Amino acid sequence: MSKKILHLAPYFWPEEIGSAPYCTELAVWLEEQGHHVSVLAFRPHYPKIEGFDAWSDGSRDEEKLGRIKVSRVPVTERGSGGLKQRLVNDLRFLLAALSRAIRGSFHGTDIVVAYTPTILTLFGAMLVRAVTGCRVVAIVHDIESGLARFLGLVSNKAFLSLITFFEKVALNSADQVIVLSEGMRSELERIGCRRPISVISLWAPEFPDAPVAKQAPPLLMYSGNFGKKQNLEQLLPLIKRLSIEQPSIRVVMQGDGSERNKIEELFSTAGITNTAFLPVAPASEFFSSLQAASVHLVPQALNVANYALPSKIFSIMSVGRPFVCIAEKDSPLDRLAQLSGAGVCVAPGDEDQLFRTIIALIQNADEIEVRGRKGREFVKSFMNKLTIMKRYHSILLEGGIENESPARFVDEIT
């Protein structure tokens, strides 16, 4: 039966990194199943507002993606004003949802899908439900209270407790909560979420195989957001040492974000000469750009493993390249590396081990090939897009909780 589904998705098409592609692909898939899908999103601005000029003047605040109606909310560039500016943006999004609900824009809505990185989307969903009586499903990509605490975004304990309180209230207002990992489920339960929680991994596309050319100079790559969650400063000792001891290894830092200028300046000040900084690759070239590398770096800030999961790692696996991640033992990234065989995890702060691991891997063409193949096999077996979309469909429309599923292996890892 066809349903009217509203997505409260602050980050959405045409943004190409972070949560936006996943929010977009789910909305498109649901529309293809015959549902009537609409979206409330920010004007595109992530990771930088440059490149989205066509939306900046508001002329595309009401548009369509295929048959999906997309409404836009004005936004100030993320990162430009720190936590305060982000809160202003999130409140702006909440007020936009409120005003549209009062005007009847969401009349007849059967289901609201509310995405967090901002918990205020759930308060917006509560307002829509008050008007329409709809069902509310929260999809949690980031846990704000944990990130705020461990990334040092909030130092005031009273304010942090307030964030956690509102997070708990909002999550318990949902009919169903979906998270990306078992670690995230544990954290939500710890802060007091008592609603049914399902774990559904991100999906990854299958991409044509392109083995690393054994005669090509080795290339080490970081690709993704330049933000606090990644703590890219921790790569500085590694890359400086590589530039001195292994100058034949080229390094590419590809992407953008609030920390990029800072990281570039740090590398320049350190006299690093083996590293090129590239912009975000266009969507049409993204996967081929990942295949240009021999090995990928996936750094993560200390203590954030259970609050956010880097989606880039699944894209890396899908193109058949191994990864070296920086994360705590038994974290989701560590378990993924061990059980998939696609990567190696190094503990934060162990600079010598990180250097040795990178050198050992990048100089072993056979191991690169084997780990790359294992990553592709893992994605094909356990991260099939259609299988995962069907799980979302079942939960959204039927309210079921899937404790066992074809993707349960991924649930246990992440």
* pLDDT reported for residue 302: 75
Tell me what the mean pLDDT of segment 224-234 comes to.
88
Q: For the CA atoms of 253, 143, 330, 241, what is the dihedral angle to 10 degrees?
A: 20
| C-alpha 195, offset from chain centre | 23
DSSP 143-173: -HHHHHHHTTS---HHHHHHHHHHHHHHHTT
Return d(Cα 346, Cα 329) in angstroms, integer.
Answer: 8
Return d(Cα 31, Cα 23) in angstroms, integer.
Answer: 13
Side-chain-facing half-sphere of 370: CA atoms under 13 Å? 8
* Gap between the terminal Cα atoms of the chain: 33
Which residue in this structure is represented by tokens 């601005």?
A: 45
* pLDDT reported for residue 201: 86
Return d(Cα 340, Cα 325) in angstroms, integer.
Answer: 13
Q: Is residue 214 part of a domain?
A: no
Return d(Cα 72, Cα 54) in angstroms, integer.
Answer: 12
100 and 87 together in one domain: yes
* pLDDT reported for residue 103: 93
Contacts of 256 (CB under 8 A, 6+ apart): 47, 48, 225, 226, 279, 280
192 and 254 together in one domain: no
374 and 327 together in one domain: yes
Q: Is residue 209 part of a domain?
A: no
* pLDDT reported for residue 153: 64
The SS3 call for residue 231 is coil
Return d(Cα 47, Cα 225) in angstroms, integer.
Answer: 7
pTM above 0.85, yes or no: no
DSSP 187-199: HHHHHT--S-EEE
pLDDT score of 154 more than 60: yes
* pLDDT reported for residue 82: 59
| Of 44, 89, 49, nearest in space to 65 by CA | 44
CB 31 within 8 A of CB 37: yes
22 and 98 together in one domain: yes
27 and 82 together in one domain: yes
Q: Is residue 111 part of a domain?
A: yes
Q: Is residue 257 part of a domain?
A: yes
What the block records as the tokens of 1 is: 């039966």
233 and 182 together in one domain: no
149 and 235 together in one domain: no
| Of 406, 386, 402, nearest in space to 26 by CA | 386
CB 92 within 8 A of CB 73: yes
* pLDDT reported for residue 80: 47
pLDDT score of 244 more than 90: yes
What is the chain's length? 414
* pLDDT reported for residue 151: 62
Q: Is residue 213 part of a domain?
A: no
228 and 345 together in one domain: yes
* pLDDT reported for residue 306: 62
* pLDDT reported for residue 225: 86
Mean pLDDT estimate for the chain: 88
pLDDT score of 51 more than 50: yes
- How far are the Cα atoms of 113, 119, 205, 330 from residue 27, in angstroms, in the given order? 10, 20, 16, 33
Beta-strand ranges (E) seen in 279-377 are 295-299, 323-326, 343-346
| Of 257, 260, 251, 273, nearest in space to 233 by CA | 260
146 and 280 together in one domain: no
Find out whether the peptide bond into 47 is cis, omega within 30 degrees of 0.
yes
pLDDT in tens, 72-95: 999 987 654 456 777 888 899 999
> How many domains does the chain divide into?
2
Q: Is residue 208 part of a domain?
A: no
Residue 283 is given by DSSP the state: G
Which residue in this structure is represented by tokens 């005031």?
A: 156
CB 117 within 8 A of CB 144: yes
Tell me what the mean pLDDT of segment 44-49 comes to.
86
17 and 96 together in one domain: yes
232 and 369 together in one domain: yes
146 vs 63, higher pLDDT: 63
The SS3 call for residue 36 is strand
Q: How do strand 176-179 and strand 62-65 relate by DSSP bridges?
A: unpaired
| Of 162, 52, 176, 49, nearest in space to 111 by CA | 176
Q: How do strand 295-299 and strand 275-278 relate by DSSP bridges?
A: unpaired
Q: Is residue 211 part of a domain?
A: no
Residue 334, H or E segment: helix 332-340
Q: Residue 100 belongs to a domain with what CATH number?
A: 3.40.50.2000
* pLDDT reported for residue 79: 56
pLDDT in tens, 278-290: 998 887 888 889 9
What the block records as the tokens of 353 is: 């081990």
CB 317 within 8 A of CB 323: yes
pLDDT in tens, 171-200: 999 999 999 888 889 889 999 999 999 999
Lowest mean per-residue pLDDT among 7-11, 151-155, 190-194, 202-206: 151-155
User: Which amino acid is present at 258?
Assistant: S
Range of the domain at 77: 4-203+384-413
What the block records as the tokens of 91 is: 């409140």
* pLDDT reported for residue 333: 87
pLDDT in tens, 355-411: 999 999 999 999 999 999 999 999 988 888 898 999 999 999 877 554 434 344 454
103 and 148 together in one domain: yes
| C-alpha 44, offset from chain centre | 16
* pLDDT reported for residue 411: 47
* pLDDT reported for residue 305: 64
